Structure 1
């Protein structure tokens, strides 16, 4: 872990020195189309990037991020979807560099949780006129994540949804793909242990949220990416139709307005067990399995956020 400047000092350095590196996933939904516009808008805000990377092969992203951070920028600007930004999170955690987000993906859950505008022009202005904040990270085993760990039908959906459908329909591609996966999906028993209390659920889907959004829709208004706790919740019971109805209701209405009004379990550390053991989708990466301990890491990463972001 590197020694960190104060957030005020870091913000001032970004505004005065403008030392940034730009990394854009040009395979993301809008990355290729907007890469040159991003360069132009950065120049309009007085930024002259130390280096720019147009990533055409996402498998090279870890290597490129290491190279970019080796230039010691004050601000690492990453353009892409949640998968690209999740990769950046793993590199930036606990370092004296802030992440600047250009939301160029399908659902942009991470950007939404930070209160960032989703259009490129205003997102670039946040880099120039915003502030540095420290936000919490989730930790699934030894894997840091920004937004969500999930178990169940969504893992199959993430592996099934077609790239062309995401490009065509955006976030609506996920519930539509779920309609094709759900008839064959079997419910499972999940056990969530928090503060010594074990909660048992029969469900098709279990989510552990660090951020406020999933699938581009708000989970609850009082969830925060900076409140020192994680939120576990199931969608549906063991009945497929109930899962479908709850998913559609949440998508259409933002059903749960408060943590007090929904099926939530919250805590700083959660032990997740399932019967049968299941793979975990951790911010789009599937390589861990239950049983799994998931905890929050307070102030685990620096980000550039709008001036009105509540930083605790």
Structure 2
């Protein structure tokens, strides 16, 4: 039985909503007899350290926010070498991971899920001790995201990516990559590479019906062309869950992939929507590393 809960939230200025939500979660959990402590953190580094220590002192960790906040929690788990059950109160712009796991986006329903739900084993992508909760992108998709400011994302939502992406679509930049996966090595040119750990991308839970959060695989999509003539075709395949069948798209499932940069310019990745490591990288799947509290009908 989970009795001791730690609620970690961003306590910096401008995040007053997080504190109010954290106190509401504490009240609801205390009403059902749980011991609850709050931890307001001022930085990602402080949050990771707090969570690293918490795994040996609490029965459950609750995080408030989007994929970036969940990523921070997982970074603390990786530092500790193991995890405890994770409760999620979605509070981001897209909440892709929560959508994939059918965690309620409504705050009150998400709090109730902490009480009524059960921990389920969930896979985690990793690059060493760097977690990948939902997705890793590189190439032009990452370039588009790089141009999106956090304030604009909060103000306009996901539509801002479309406006920023139109400019990028008028370029024809590609990247020369060396890919090692499933015992095969290949050199190719690509404009976008996407790695996912669930069936959802950008909040579209129909993106890849073949994928599950506990299937023990990374799902890799390599788009050789991402131009204006192809955008409508890709959009249709994306929305229908058939992107891997589109012409010019290479798809593979693997437990590990090594990606090397053979281009003259540096190639940086984005992980769960935030700027991350530059190539080369080796991505692995940590099967069942997480235990996330999910609705019982999930």
Say yes or no: TM over 0.5. yes
* Map 1:85-104 → 2, pairs under 5 A: 85-93=70-78, 94-104=81-91
Structure 1 pair 116–241 and aligned structure 2 pair: CA distance change class (3 A): same
Cα distance in 1 for residues equivalent to 2:188 and 2:233: 16
Cα distance in 2 for residues equivalent to 1:266 and 1:28: 42
Match of 1:203 among 190, 194, 200: 190
| Cα distance, 1:150 vs structure 2 | 1.4
- Paired residue secondary structure (2:289): strand
* Map 1:1-312 → 2, pairs under 5 A: 13-14=1-2, 17=3, 19-25=4-10, 32-33=16-17, 35-45=19-29, 46=31, 50-55=36-41, 57-58=43-44, 60-66=46-52, 68-69=54-55, 72-93=57-78, 94-184=81-171, 186-199=173-186, 201-218=188-205, 219-235=207-223, 237-242=224-229, 244-246=231-233, 248-249=235-236, 254-257=239-242, 263-276=250-263, 278-309=267-298
| Cα distance, 1:144 vs structure 2 | 2.7
Q: Which residue of 2 aligns with 1:10?
A: none
| Cα distance, 1:42 vs structure 2 | 4.3
Cα distance in 2 for residues equivalent to 1:278 and 1:96: 31
Structure 1 pair 272–303 and aligned structure 2 pair: CA distance change class (3 A): same
Cα distance in 2 for residues equivalent to 1:195 and 1:68: 36
| TM-score w.r.t. length of structure 1 | 0.80
CA contact under 8 A between 1:270 and 1:294: conserved in structure 2?
A: yes
CA contact under 8 A between 1:222 and 1:259: conserved in structure 2?
A: no
- Paired residue secondary structure (1:77): strand
RMSD (CA atoms): 2.9
Cα distance in 1 for residues equivalent to 2:68 and 2:172: 24
Q: Unpaired segments of 5 or more residues in structure 1?
A: 1-12
CA contact under 8 A between 2:244 and 2:251: conserved in structure 1?
A: yes
| Cα distance, 1:107 vs structure 2 | 1.1
